[in-house]
Amino acid sequence: MSVVFEKTQLLTDKPFHYCPGCNHGIIHRLVAESIDELVKEGKLEAGNIVGVAPVGCSVFAYDYFNCDMYEAAHGRAPAVATGIKRAKKDTLVFTYQGDGDLASIGTAEIVHAAHRGEKIVTIFVNNAIYGMTGGQMAPTTLVGQKTTTSPYGRDEAWCGAPIKMSEMLAQVPGSYYIERCAVNNTANIVKTKKAIKKAMQYQLEGKGFCMIEVLSTCPTNWGLSPVEAMKWLEGNMIPYYPLGVYKDKGAEAK
């Protein structure tokens, strides 16, 4: 008998508190598996990992990862990660942030962390809505998308167009590797894991700031079933937020 798939040791046994079909669980697993593989490949010591949890639905991320975790103030995960990484240079430091945390209240922190070229990895989960607080409009909410604070749909003339963080941070000179992924099907899940692992490897090589944006669903606040939400993401979010590598200084150098 051989095991084809099992839960990674880097995740604790605590059941996720997320709603049914929420993509946070998939992304948690990809982050944990990437770290686990780096430890097994001997590139990283098991005790040398620190994650920084955000404020948002994933605020309890520190309960789910089997490594050292830190809970930052809302939006300030990149600033906290900067301090950890500068104090302990041989540590793998990652932040796990949602779009309300990273693209709204924490915009200044993430832009300047990228600008300084901090050697951290940011996992940015973009679900185009504020999930934890009850489905309000976020900076990433699509034009025409209905939320509790935009009941007639987001109006571009009034609220502006949704912010594209990957494109924005790719323009910042200090960033090293920026990619946008999704977890809507098995192929994209595998690609997302590769991207996360690559970003972590870059950090261990001391390269620079890496961000992986992962498009995610919020079935509860979008008012759709988990399967319908995946289809909505494929039909609406991916066309506006195209998947792909926006910057990879490592590949350019080759």
Partner 1 sequence: MVKVMINELLCKGCGLCVRACPKGVLALSKEKLNAKGYHPAEPVNPEECIGCASCARTCPDVAIRIERE
Cβ 6 to partner 1 shortest distance, Å: 5
| 16 contributes a contact to partner 1 by CB under 8 A | yes
Neighbours of 69 (CB within 10 A): 18
Stretch 155-194 residues interacting with partner 1 (CB under 8 A)? 183, 185-186, 189-190
Question: Of residues 9, 19, 168, 194, which one binds partner 1 by CB under 8 A?
Answer: 19
| 235 contributes a contact to partner 1 by CB under 8 A | no
* Contact characters 192-231, partner 1, x per CB under 8 A: ---------------------------x-----xxx--x-
Judge contact between 123 and 212, C-beta under 8 A.
Answer: yes
Strand order in the sheet with 92-98: 68-71, 49-53, 92-98, 121-126, 209-215, 175-182, 244-248
| Dihedral, 217, 220, 226, 229 alpha carbons, nearest 10 | -50
Question: Of residues 10, 29, 103, 198, which one binds partner 1 by CB under 8 A?
Answer: 29
Q: How far apart are CA 7 and CA 20, in angstroms?
A: 18
Collapsed DSSP state (helix, strand, coil) of residue 218: coil
Please, which residue, 72 or 189, has the CB nearer to partner 1?
A: 189
| 79 contributes a contact to partner 1 by CB under 8 A | no
Beta bridge mates, 188: none
| 3 contributes a contact to partner 1 by CB under 8 A | yes
In one-letter notation, the amino acid at residue 161 is A
| 125 contributes a contact to partner 1 by CB under 8 A | no
| 22 contributes a contact to partner 1 by CB under 8 A | yes
Residues binding partner 1: what is the number (CB under 8 A)? Answer: 30
Please, which residue, 5 or 158, has the CB nearer to partner 1?
A: 5
Q: How far apart are CA 72 and CA 43, in angstroms?
A: 27
What DSSP state is assigned to residue 60? Answer: G
| 60 contributes a contact to partner 1 by CB under 8 A | no
Judge contact between 161 and 137, C-beta under 8 A.
Answer: no
Cβ 224 to partner 1 shortest distance, Å: 12
Q: How far apart are CA 148 and CA 156, in angstroms?
A: 16
Please, which residue, 171 or 185, has the CB nearer to partner 1?
A: 185
| Residues at the contact surface with partner 1, assessed by CB under 8 A | 1-7, 11, 15-16, 18-26, 29, 183, 185-186, 189-190, 219, 225-227, 230
